Structure 1
Amino acid sequence: MISASFFSGGKESVYALYKALEMGLNVKYLIYCHYNFPRMSPHTLNMEMIRVEAKLIGIPLIECYPEKGLEIEFLRGLLMKLGVNAVVGGDIYLIDHYNWLEKLCSPIGVKCIEPLWIGDEDKSGNILIDEVKSGVEAMICGVKSKLNGGLIGKIINRDFLNSFLEYCSLKNIDPCGERGEYHTIVLKSPLYKKSIQILNYKIIENGDYIYIKVDNYEVL
Structure 2
Amino acid sequence: MTDSGSWVSLFSGGKDSSWALYRALEEGLNVSHLLTVHPGEDSYMYHVPETRLAGLAAESIGIPLVDVEPDDLDAGDVDDVGAQGDREIEPLEAALVELQSDLDGGLAGVIAGAVESEFQTSRIQEMCDRLEIDLFAPLWQRDPLELGREMLAAGFEIRIIQVAARGLDESWLGRTLDADALTELVELNDEYGVHVLGEGGEFETFVTDGPHMDRPIELEYETVWEGTRGHIRVTDARLGEATE
Identity value in percent: 28
Aligned twin of 1:128: 148
Decide which of 109, 119, 135 is 1:96's aligned counterpart: 119
Superposed CA deviations along residues 111-146 of structure 1, whole A, max 9, x for unmatched, are 11101112x6xx211111111111111110000153
CA 72–196 in structure 1, closer or farther in 2 if over 3 Å, else same: closer
Q: How many Å apart are 1:23 and its aligned residue?
A: 1.4
* Alignment-mate amino acid for residue 105 of structure 1: C
Secondary structure class of the residue paired with 2:172: coil
Structure 1 equivalent of residue 174 of structure 2: 153
Aligned-residue offset at 1:156: 0.9
TM-superposed CA distance for 1:37, in Å, is: 4.3
Q: Which of residues 173, 182, 190 is equivalent to 2:211?
A: 190
Q: What is the count of residue pairs matched by the alignment? A: 215
1:58 aligns to 2:62 (yes or no): yes
Change (3 A) 1:65 1:197: closer
1:30 Cα deviation after fit: 0.8
- Name 2:32's counterpart in structure 1: 28
CA contact (8 A) 2:13 2:54 kept: yes
Question: Is this contact kept in 2: 1:202–1:213, CA < 8 A?
Answer: yes
Change (3 A) 1:45 1:161: closer
Q: Provide the rounded CA distance (Å) in 2 between the counterparts of 1:114 and 1:210.
A: 29
Q: Secondary structure at the match of 1:147?
A: coil
2:113 aligned partner, one-letter code: G
2: CA distance, partners of 1:74 / 1:153: 31
Given that residues 35 and 65 in structure 1 are in contact (C-alpha distance below 8 angstroms), is that contact kept between their aligned partners in structure 2? yes
4+ runs of 1 displaced by more than 6 Å?
none
AA of the residue aligned to 2:116 = Y
Q: Does the CA-based 8 Å contact 2:49-2:161 persist in structure 1?
A: no
Q: Does 1:72 align with 2:76?
A: no
CA distance in 1, matches of 2:204, 2:163: 6
8 Å contact kept, 2:160–2:204: yes
Equivalent of residue 162 in structure 1, options 178, 183, 187: 183
Q: 1:180 aligns with which of 179, 182, 201?
A: 201
Structure 1 residue 109: Cα displacement: 0.5
Structure-1-length-normalised TM-score: 0.86
Q: 1:97 to 1:48 in 2, by over 3 A?
A: closer
What residue identity is the alignment partner of 2:94? G
CA drift of 1:159 comes to 5.6
By how many angstroms is 1:56 displaced?
Answer: 0.6
Question: Which residue of the partner structure matches residue 138 of structure 2?
Answer: 115
Conserved? CA contact 2:89–2:124, under 8 Å: no
Which moves more between the two structures, 61-70 or 100-109? 61-70
Aligned partners of 1:138 and 1:156 also within 8 Å: yes
The structure whose residues are more often strand, as a share, is 1
Give the secondary-structure state (helix, strand or coil) at the position aligned to 2:7.
strand
